[in-house]
Structure 1
Amino acid sequence: MSNPQAAPGQSAPRVVVSLATYNEAENVAPLIEAIRDFAPDAAVLVIDDNSPDGTGKIADEVSARLKDVDVIHRSGKLGLGTATLEAISYAIQNNYDYLLNMDADFSHPPRFIPAILAGMKDHDVMIGSRYVPGGGVEGGFNLKRKFMSSGINLYARTFLGLRTRDNSGAFRCYRVSKLAQIDYAKVKSRGYSFQEEILFWCKQVGCRFGETPILFENRRAGISKINSREAVTALWIIFRLGVGRLLGRV
């Protein structure tokens, strides 16, 4: 499959796909292989937080047999936000054009990667969105999850001035040259609120946003790692950013 972004006579943009892992031993190898089915020329970066189930070792084994698969081993569970920051730093330092991030549990189906990359022709951030026409959630959300998900997205749009519909999902692609303009010393999030906060900072550096529909699927193996404490922290960080925006302090 050729890269849809390459114009005649031009080389295709260099893409790296980042996967933050913690206890994803059953998912990491088949996911990397599936990514290569839909983005054969993309590099893959696994950032493993010292998973007790041996995810990091499995990722190393994949790296040894497949080209352009790199693994960063961290000392412990340091948070999704810091893992994404590691991926951003890696993409900038290695001169990639696009950084495409996705969850490591198959909830973000790799078959949507080509559509996300195609949208980068006219945008600086492309979001794989559950909340635009054609998007959705496998089996639907239960009432609690639907309330939480719709609530956090409305909250982020209100406080951060975002117009995008799906601000909490991690399935998205960034133009690395725009990421390089952000002052990461200002980033407060270390957990799940990073998804909303990085969109805010992308907006501050003039990014053009787009969304393409995806179907969010149930994870194939393992357990979800979201907890209520991180949810409360996310609400507080978004609130502080929003107040700073309204007061002209950011």
Structure 2
Amino acid sequence: MAKTVVVIPTYNEIRSISAVTERVLRTVASADVLIVDDNSPDGTGDLADTMAESDPRIHVLHRSEKNGLGAAYAAGFRWALDRDFDYIVEMDADGSHQPEELPRLIALLDGGADMAIGTRWIPGGVIKNWPAYRKLISRAGTAYARILLQSKLHDLTSGYRGFRADSLRLIDFGTVNSQGYCFQIELAWLFERSGGRIGEFPITFVEREEGVSKMSTGIVVEALTKVTGWGLASAFGRAPERLSLPAAGATSR
């Protein structure tokens, strides 16, 4: 059985992290969980330490400050790669992503996908508790990124995804400098441009009931600016270097 770790970044998620972690471990008992805490002032990191003391499958990586989702994931990925996990999964801490859907993600990696993405915008995908304007903004942003980047992926900003470690190991995270949700776009586009095998599966996305959303104007501006720059660079033949992934051809499910 593949050795799997679920990386969960946290910042002020004390009201949700325990329940999310319990659901992950109940769904995939063989998995580990790595909580990457950015020095949360609400005590999330201390709670995570207490959880880790009672369960050897739970690990905690403390970072000194909050400096972006991308940096938190990059740190978590390096930690996992150093410990020879086979599959590395990322998931939000707020309960938006359903841990009960993990087996479908893992099945895509078992089937040979380099990356598996939980997608809201394909048949079977569901969004709960989002007002119409949030759906419109998300769909418009996704459409813009797909057009500019000439991407066939349906949910470039999804934060529910997993990777085969041998593919993720090829990335120089020093060159992936996006923060916020733009990190998700950059990583997915890098895999797609490199001919990676990418599997998509529909998910149920539930708006958080606890805590405060980390979405901000700065995150949106970063995504629009970088996507526009990447799209123009690609159009003029100056796109970033590709990865040398094990095989070519993307698959979607």
Q: Percent identity?
A: 36
Structure 2 SS opposite 1:186: coil
- Is this contact kept in 1: 2:35–2:48, CA < 8 A? yes
The residue type equivalent to 1:90 in the other structure is W
Superposed structure 1 runs of 4+ greater than 3 Å apart: none
Give the Å deviation of 1:107: 0.6
Q: Distance in 1 between matches of 2:232 and 2:46?
A: 44
Give the Å deviation of 1:68: 2.3
Aligned counterpart, 2:248: none
1:35 aligns with 2:35: no
The residue type equivalent to 1:84 in the other structure is Y
Aligned counterpart, 1:211: 200
Give the Å deviation of 1:93: 1.4
Aligned counterpart, 2:7: 18
Alignment of 1:213-232 (within 5 A): 213-232=202-221
Q: Quick check: 158-167 or 106-115, which moved more?
A: 158-167
1:123 aligns with 2:113: yes
- Is this contact kept in 2: 1:39–1:114, CA < 8 A? yes
Give the Å deviation of 1:94: 1.4
How many residue pairs get matched?
238
Give the Å deviation of 1:37: 0.8
Q: Quick check: 147-156 or 50-59, which moved more?
A: 147-156
Q: 1:186 to 1:245 in 2, by over 3 A?
A: farther
The residue type equivalent to 2:79 in the other structure is Y
User: Of the candidates 135, 142, 149, which is equivalent to residue 146 of structure 1?
Assistant: 135
- Is this contact kept in 2: 1:164–1:210, CA < 8 A? no
CA-to-partner distance for each residue in 1:59-83, whole Å, 9 max, x for gaps?
0000000012111111111111111
- TM-score, scaled to structure 2: 0.90
Alignment of 1:59-78 (within 5 A): 59-78=48-67
Structure 1 SS opposite 2:123: coil
Q: Quick check: 203-212 or 72-81, which moved more?
A: 203-212
In structure 2, list runs of 5 or more residues that go unmatched.
241-253
- TM-score, scaled to structure 1: 0.91
Q: Quick check: 38-47 or 196-205, which moved more?
A: 196-205
In structure 1, list runs of 5 or more residues that go unmatched.
1-11
Q: Quick check: 184-193 or 29-38, which moved more?
A: 184-193
- Is this contact kept in 1: 2:39–2:45, CA < 8 A? yes
Aligned counterpart, 1:111: 100
Aligned counterpart, 1:84: 73
Structure 1 SS opposite 2:174: helix
The residue type equivalent to 2:115 in the other structure is V
Q: Distance in 2 between matches of 1:109 and 1:174?
A: 18
User: Of the candidates 121, 133, 150, which is equivalent to residue 123 of structure 2?
Assistant: 133
- Is this contact kept in 1: 2:69–2:181, CA < 8 A? yes
Q: Distance in 2 between matches of 1:94 and 1:246?
A: 39
Aligned counterpart, 1:3: none
CA-based RMSD: 1.3
Give the Å deviation of 1:50: 0.7
Aligned counterpart, 2:235: 246
The residue type equivalent to 2:43 in the other structure is G
Aligned counterpart, 2:45: 56
